[in-house]
């Protein structure tokens, strides 16, 4: 039997990625490809995110000042 997956609320994910507010955290997580896996019950329930996915996305993000537009693809030798 597998262990239950750890989930974080949007507020917890925002604190982990050091976002200024939940709205910016939601946008950042979406940009990083992290999608909510559920929702808290009740009217004011927050989205729930897979904690490991949030950790991985934060670890794999480009650093400050990274010029991601300058990456080139290796080209084959025309022979």
Is residue 72 situated within a structural domain?
A: no
Say what the pTM is.
0.71
Is residue 69 situated within a structural domain?
A: no
Is residue 2 situated within a structural domain?
A: no
Residue 17 has pLDDT above 60, yes or no: yes
Is residue 74 situated within a structural domain?
A: no
Average pLDDT over residues 49-75: 80
Domain around 54: 7-60
Number of domains the chain is built from? 1
Is residue 15 situated within a structural domain?
A: yes
Measured CA distances, 24 to 3, 5, 10, 30, 78 (Å) = 31, 24, 10, 10, 46
Residue 44 has pLDDT above 80, yes or no: yes
Is residue 67 situated within a structural domain?
A: no
d(CA 7, CA 71): 34
- Mark 24-60 as b/e (b = at least 16 C-beta within 10 Å): ebbebbeebebebeeeeeeeeebbbbbbebbbebbee
Residue 52: its pLDDT value, please? 95
Is residue 73 situated within a structural domain?
A: no
């Amino acid at each position: 039997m597998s262990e239950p997956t750890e989930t974080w609320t949007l507020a917890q994910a925002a604190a982990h990625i050091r976002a200024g507010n939940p709205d910016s955290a939601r946008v950042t997580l979406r940009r990083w490809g992290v999608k909510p896996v559920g929702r808290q019950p009740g009217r004011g329930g927050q989205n729930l995110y897979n904690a490991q996915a949030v950790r991985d996305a934060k670890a794999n993000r480009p650093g400050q000042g990274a010029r991601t537009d300058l990456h080139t693809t290796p080209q084959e030798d025309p022979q």
